[in-house]
Structure 1
Amino acid sequence: MQATPADPSTPDAFLTPVEHLFVRNHLAPPPELDASAWTLTVEGLVGRPLWLDLPALRGLPRTRLTAVHECFGSPSRPDVPTRAVANLEWSGVALHHVLALAAPRPQARHVWFEGADRGSFAGESGLAYLKDLPLDRAREEVLLADTVNGAPLPHRHGFPVRAVAPRMFATNSVKWLTRVVLSEHRPEHLFTTRLYTRVPPGGGAPQPVRDVDVNSKLLGPRDGGRVPAGPHEVTGRAWSFTPVVSVEVAVDDGGWRPAALQPRGPHPVWQRFALPCRLAPGPHRIRCRATDARGRVQPPGGARNAVHTVEVLAV
C-alpha cells in the first residue's frame, strides 16, 4: 500500500483542508481519468443495467454529507495505530437513486464497488480495487461523490467520482469508481475476503473491516512539541460509529479527567474536546480516551485504536 503522508497532525478545524488529507493507494500508478469519457456501469442482478456518464449522474438528485474519514491502516498489521483521519464535506448522488433506476432483483444481497485502478499487491497481479457491502446498508448510506469540501475531487482522491461510505473505514470508500455490481454473494477477492478482515473481540470468524472504532486524537499540543509552562488547553478530536459520549484526558500520572466535548449533531462527524490544565516546566505525557454510545472505550494498548499519547516539553 503506497501512502502519501498528510500534515503531521490533522489541523484542529472542523473540516480538514483537502491538502492535508491522507492519500492511500494500493495499486500504482493511480489512474488519470478523463471526465468526458468516464462512465459508471451498474450491472449484475438488476432489471435495467445502466451506463451513466457524468452529466447523467449529476442530473440525479444531489445531497451533501459531512463525515469523518479514517484510514484503517495496513491490512497486514491490523492492530497498529495510524490515526490517519480527516473530517470532510462530500457532495454527490445517493446510491439509492442510482439503484432505483437499475431495479435490483429480489435475490440481490450485496453490492460490489470497483475502481479504475489496476496493478499488483501482496504478490497478486492484474488486480482491480474491489470492495463490497450488504445491499440494504449500501442503499441507505453510500454516496457517489464528485466534490469534497465544495470543490471537484482531486485526481489523487478519486476524480471524477468515488463512493463514500460514512461511519465505515475509508477502505470501503472506493476511489475512481467505474463499476457497481449487484450479487447474491460477496466477491472472493484479495481486498474483500483475504485482506481487510479481523477477528472480533472475544474471538470467532474473521469479519470484514467496516464500522469505525471508537477513537480519539490529541491535536494540541503536538507530540514532541515545546509549549509555554503554565496554563494550557489540551484539545483534540474524537469519533466513532455512534456518537462519542465522553472523552477523558490524563496528564502524567494524574487520573483521568472529563474533557468538555462538543455534540456530534445529525452527521457522523468528529467531535472536538478540550481540557484546561497547568504544565510545570519539564517533560509531560498527555493521554486521551473516548467512550461512545455503545459503551465502547478505547483500550490502553495493543489495538489500532489504543489510547493516544503525546509527549511535550514545557519551558
Structure 2
Amino acid sequence: MAGRTLTRTTRPVVKPTPAGLMEDAGSGLDYGTRPDRMPGFLTPVDRFFVRNHAPTPVIDPAAWTLRVDGAGVRRPITYTYDELWRRFPLLSVVRTLECAGNRRRLFGEEQGAPFAGVSWGRGAIGTAEWTGVCLRDLLEPAGITPDAREVMPESLDEARARRPLPLAKALAGDTLLALAMNGEPLPPDHGFPARVVVPGWLGAASIKWVGRIEVSDRPLRVPWTTEDYVIVTPDRPAPVPITETPVASLVELPWPARLPAGPRLVRGRAYAGESRVATVEYRLDDGPWRTADLEAQGGRGVWARWEFPWDPAPGDHVVRVRATDERGRRQPDRTPWNALGYCHNSVLAHPVTVTAR
C-alpha cells in the first residue's frame, strides 16, 4: 500500500510481556492480562492484552496514510497522520475490548476436549480510554452514497486483517478511529498509528494498524466473517459471524488461588458487550447466591467492577460469580458447544485454597 513505511521487529510483539503481568497464550503473538494484576478501572497499557494475527508492524507515521474508498463513496479520500490530529474534533471514550476466544482453554476443559485456536485463559479482555476521530467524521468527506451497505477497515499487518461493519455500526457516535490510548499515542502492539474501536463487539472488529477503509455497496465476504470469528454448530446450516460478546464475569484472583486466612474483599469485573451489567451475584461453596456490590458501574460497552466481603476458614473453597445484564441475559451454567470454541461465558467454579496464618 502506497504512502507508508513498515518495518518488522526482532520479536513478534514489541512491548515486554513479563510473566508477572501477562499470560503467554502459546502462539508467540498473543498475551492475556493476568486477572490478579488488574489495578484500577482502566487497564494499564503495559498489561493490556495483545491479540495479533501476524507480528506487530512498526509504521513510520510521517509516511503513513489512510485511504477511504469503495463503491459506497462518491470520491476516494486520503488522510495523513498529522491531518487526523488537526482537521477533526477529537473524542475520548472509555470502552472495553474482549477477544471472542477469551476463556477458550476453560471452554475446552468444560467440554472435555481442547479447541483449536489461541488457548486463552481469562485475560483476553481490557478497558482503556480511547481518543480519536469518530469514524463517521472520516467517511463524510468522501460522500457516502445511498447504496452504502458496509464499512471495512483493513490492517497493514502481514495478515491484512479486515472485518466489515454494517453501515449503522460504523456511523455510531462512539465508533472511533483511535489515535491514543490512556492519554498517550497508541503503542505499536495496540495499533499505532491508528486503529478502529468498535464498542461492544468482539475485539477482532477493532482492526489495528489501519491503512484503508472500504465502503461497499454490497455485503463483503472475508475469512474473518466466513471461516473465523464465526459460530458453527450442528444445527446451523452456515457459519454465523460473531458481533456482540456475551455477558460474563471475571474474578481478580489467580487460577487456582491460594490465600491466607482472614477477612478480605474479593473483587472482579463483569462485561456485557453492547449492553450494561445490571447485577453481579456470588456463591461461596454450596451456599446461596448473594448480590455483590457494584463498585464502579461502567455502561454499555464498558465493564463494571464488583466486590464482596469474605472471611473464609482455612481449607479448600469454590467461588462462583455470575453477571446479568439489563436485557436479562445471565451467565449460564454451561456454554453451548460451537466448533471454534468462541464466546464461552459459563459460571466458573473458581478454586481457592485458604491457608492458616
What is the TM-score with the length of structure 2 in the denominator? 0.79
Residue of structure 1 equivalent to 2:111: none
Cα separation, 2, equivalents of 1:172 and 1:290: 24
From 10, 18, 30, the equivalent of 1:4 is 30
Residue of structure 2 equivalent to 1:61: 89
Contact 1:301–1:307 (8 Å) recurs in 2: yes
- 1:129–1:46 Cα change, 3 Å: same
RMSD: 2.4
From 48, 51, 56, the equivalent of 2:78 is 51
1:225-264 deviation digits (Å, cap 9, x = unpaired):
3222232222101111211111111111112111111463
Contact 1:91–1:146 (8 Å) recurs in 2: yes
Residue of structure 2 equivalent to 1:132: 164
Residue of structure 1 equivalent to 2:256: 224
- 1:16–1:3 Cα change, 3 Å: same
3-state SS in 1 of match to 2:83: helix
Richer in strand (by share): 1
Q: Which runs of 4+ in 1 moved over 6 A?
A: 78-81
- 1:215–1:65 Cα change, 3 Å: same
Q: Offset at 1:41? A: 0.3
Cα separation, 1, equivalents of 2:100 and 2:125: 9
Aligned residue type for 2:90: R
Residue of structure 2 equivalent to 1:20: 47
Q: 295-304 vs 148-157, which deviates more?
A: 295-304
3-state SS in 2 of match to 1:131: coil
Residue of structure 2 equivalent to 1:122: none
Contact 1:146–1:159 (8 Å) recurs in 2: yes
Residue of structure 2 equivalent to 1:113: 153
The reply on whether 1:248 has 2:281 as its aligned counterpart is yes
Q: Offset at 1:47? A: 1.3
Cα separation, 2, equivalents of 1:5 and 1:37: 29
Contact 2:298–2:304 (8 Å) recurs in 1: no
Q: What is the aligned length?
A: 305
3-state SS in 2 of match to 1:61: coil
1:72-129 deviation digits (Å, cap 9, x = unpaired):
117975998743111100000000111111111111110011000124xxxxxxxx21
From 207, 228, 233, the equivalent of 1:195 is 228
- 1:31–1:50 Cα change, 3 Å: same
Q: Offset at 1:144? A: 0.4
Aligned residue type for 1:92: G
Cα separation, 2, equivalents of 1:54 and 1:271: 34
Q: 33-42 vs 10-19, which deviates more?
A: 10-19
1:281-301 deviation digits (Å, cap 9, x = unpaired):
111111111000111111112
Percent identity reads 38
Cα separation, 2, equivalents of 1:99 and 1:57: 12
Contact 1:218–1:308 (8 Å) recurs in 2: no
Q: 181-190 vs 278-287, which deviates more?
A: 181-190
What is the TM-score with the length of structure 1 in the denominator? 0.89
